[in-house]
Amino acid sequence: MILTVTLNTALDITYRVPALRTHAAHRVSEVTERPGGKGLNVARVLAAVGHEVTVTGFTGGATGRVVQEQLSAVAGVVDALVPVAGATRRTIAVMDDRTGDTTQLNEPGPTVTSAEWAAFQEVYGELLPSVSAVALCGSLPPGVPVGAYAGLIRTARAAGVPVLLDTSGEPLRRGVAARPDVVKPNAEELAELTGSHEPVRGAMDARRRGAHAVVASLGADGLLAVTPEGRWRATPPTRVRGNPTGAGDSAVAGLLSGLAEHLPWPDRLARALALSTASVLAPVAGEFIRSVYEELLDGVAVTGEASAA
């Protein structure tokens, strides 16, 4: 069982319009709703590739009830979300059919009380003994301490559970210092963390700051991994256009599944990049086109070398 943590869950709403124009009214050609937030997206992809997943975090209000109702229909995903008094946020993605681009609007999320945060920490501690890996994903809702992920990393490490961190800003900075097994920033987040715009240098610096391994998303240029076992870069066989929302979450799912299956790093990266690329072509976050994924899996180029023993 893999555990994903989404402290700021969401109901992801996607609108498709023929062409998005400022200062204009639009007719929406299609609307979809899905449980969202980074960890829930990761969980859906993990379940789709055959892993059992438990999801936890916060949920509340009418929007939270919709999220939980829809989660109950996802095979392989167990709901361990913790209730709060506030309402779960919504995120709005507007897909422009003319350009293929997506515009994203994200609400901040409910304010979490100290009692609700304490209740979550209790649930989290109870779940850890039964899981093989945990992913801590996304933004923090108002009221949650900025060092929350650092504390959750230390709790997982004390339980002997490997942990992947996927967040940004000060929560990432503090989380890295708690020595997670893997961090997965994008290029911008890595530069903000380390001050370096050169990905290899930035990843090496993130390791010096505490991360055991660093996997950086480089957009269309693929993935970079700097680990104790070696350094590798994975590049896609072709560039694709579509909805990039959730592509990083699919990469996390690939990395976590590879970790749970004890795959070598090059195989983890190939899976992560194939899933990420296949998700760009899917209409909503947390999904991927299986035929594209299977075709890409053999076409991803992974270069680099293992460290000397």
Residue 230 has pLDDT above 60, yes or no: yes
Residue 274 has pLDDT above 60, yes or no: yes
Average pLDDT over residues 292-307: 83
Q: What is the DSSP letter of 49?
A: T
| Distance, CA of 38 to CA of 42 (rounded, Å) | 6
Q: Are 246 and 35 spatial neighbours (Cβ–Cβ below 8 Å)? A: no
**Catalytic residues, which ones?**
249
Burial of 26 per CB tally in 10 Å (0-12, 13-18, 19+): middle
Q: Are 139 and 172 spatial neighbours (Cβ–Cβ below 8 Å)? A: no
| Distance, CA of 130 to CA of 132 (rounded, Å) | 7
Residue 287 has pLDDT above 80, yes or no: no
Residue 309 has pLDDT above 60, yes or no: no
Q: What does the pLDDT look like over 50-103, one tens digit per residue?
A: 999 999 999 999 999 999 999 999 999 999 999 999 999 999 889 888 887 888
Q: What does the pLDDT look like over 163-205, one tens digit per residue?
A: 999 999 999 999 999 999 999 999 999 999 999 999 999 999 9
Q: Are 169 and 192 spatial neighbours (Cβ–Cβ below 8 Å)? A: yes
**What is the sign, positive or negative, of the torsion defined by CA atoms of 252, 253, 259, 264?**
negative
| Distance, CA of 275 to CA of 249 (rounded, Å) | 9
Band of residue 220 on the pLDDT scale cut at 50, 70, 90: confident
* Averaged pLDDT of the chain: 92
Q: Which helix (H) or strand (E) holds 164?
A: strand 163-166
Q: What percentage of residues in the chain have a pLDDT greater than 90?
A: 74
